[in-house]
Structure 1
Amino acid sequence: MTETQKYRKSRRVRKFQAQRRKYRRSRFLFFALLGEAVFVGTLVLIGLSLLGALR
């Protein structure tokens, strides 16, 4: 394997790793937003039920 081939392969691998890292970060963000939405939803439901109980 010549130097240029090695260089090309390493560059491709690095690009692939960068894509994978970006994908992992976006997936983490998605799950964080999902958890936030669930948390807010439960809070709203609890608040509504409390209001209903008070009335």
Structure 2
Amino acid sequence: PEYCARCTECVTRKVWSDLQDAMLGVLEAKTLQDLVDDFVKGQKTANYQI
């Protein structure tokens, strides 16, 4: 992608950078087994709907 010529001055750049780091941290910490376990756990809980 093309970068804005003023990206070094952008006040929101740090926010987006921090958000990227946080998302990558979460994604790197999760495994396929974690997703399977969460799914199975969700299947065992009661689901009351009216």
TM > 0.5 fold call: no
Larger radius of gyration: 1
Q: TM-score, normalised by structure 2?
A: 0.42
Structure with more relative contact order (C-alpha pairs < 8 Å, separation 6 or more): 2
Instruction: Name the structure with the higher helix share.
Output: 1
